[in-house]
Structure 1
Amino acid sequence: MKAASLPSLRVDPELRAAAEDVLEEGETLSAFVESAVKRQINFRRTRAEFITRGLASLEEAKQTGIYYGAGEVLGELNDMRKSAGKVAPRELSGQVYRTVEK
């Protein structure tokens, strides 16, 4: 497949300098921009799929009359994490916890 170009982009000198400041060793500004575009495409596709699944789930709940409470869902997620051997330091609850597992 033949390579294509993205449109030229005019930015403030401060934005260009900020981007250049965070380049990793050997990384070009073009590679940085390409990577950012790919990540944004992936994010937007994932978000669109998530919204589509959520709306389909809502429609199914309306049709069947079956709704699940947050406590039920979080309990099930806790059970799934435990059975996978990746238990969070605290049980999932109504609050959002960010844990990083290595």
Structure 2
Amino acid sequence: MKTATIPSIRVEPAFREKAEDVLGKEETLSAFVETAMAEAIERRTMQREFVARGLASLAQAERTGIYHAAQSIHKEAAERIAAARRKKGKE
């Protein structure tokens, strides 16, 4: 498969210097930009999926008339997190 290029962008010299200043040893600016883009793509994909799940949940609640109080959802989430932490501590 052929590779493609990302369009170049113009930035202030100070901004480029800041980016170069945080590069790891042997890391290139191109690799840094590629990593930043990959992380942004992953974050936006997760956000899109989160919103889609929320909208689906809303549609289901509207269809069924069954709603759950935020307090009970938060409590259940906190319990799951605590259980996961306990399990991790035992490993």
Pick the TM interval, shorter chain. 0.7 to 0.9
Structure 2 Cα separation of the partners of residues 67 and 77 of structure 1: 16
**Paired positions, count:** 86
SS in 2 for 1:38: helix
What's 2:62 paired with?
Answer: 62
Structure 2 Cα separation of the partners of residues 78 and 45 of structure 1: 25
Q: Give the gaps of 5 or more residues in structure 1.
A: 88-102
TM-score with structure 1 setting the length: 0.77
Structure 1 Cα separation of the partners of residues 68 and 26 of structure 2: 50
Structure 2 Cα separation of the partners of residues 51 and 81 of structure 1: 21
Identity %: 48
Structure 2 Cα separation of the partners of residues 18 and 52 of structure 1: 36
Alignment of 1:52-91 (within 5 A): 52-84=52-84, 86=85
The CA deviation at 1:40 is: 0.8
Structure 2 Cα separation of the partners of residues 6 and 82 of structure 1: 43
Q: Deviations over 1:54-84 (max 9, x none)?
A: 0111111111111111221122123323433
Query: Relative contact order (C-alpha < 8 Å, sep 6+): which is higher?
Result: 1
Matched to 2:9, the amino acid is L
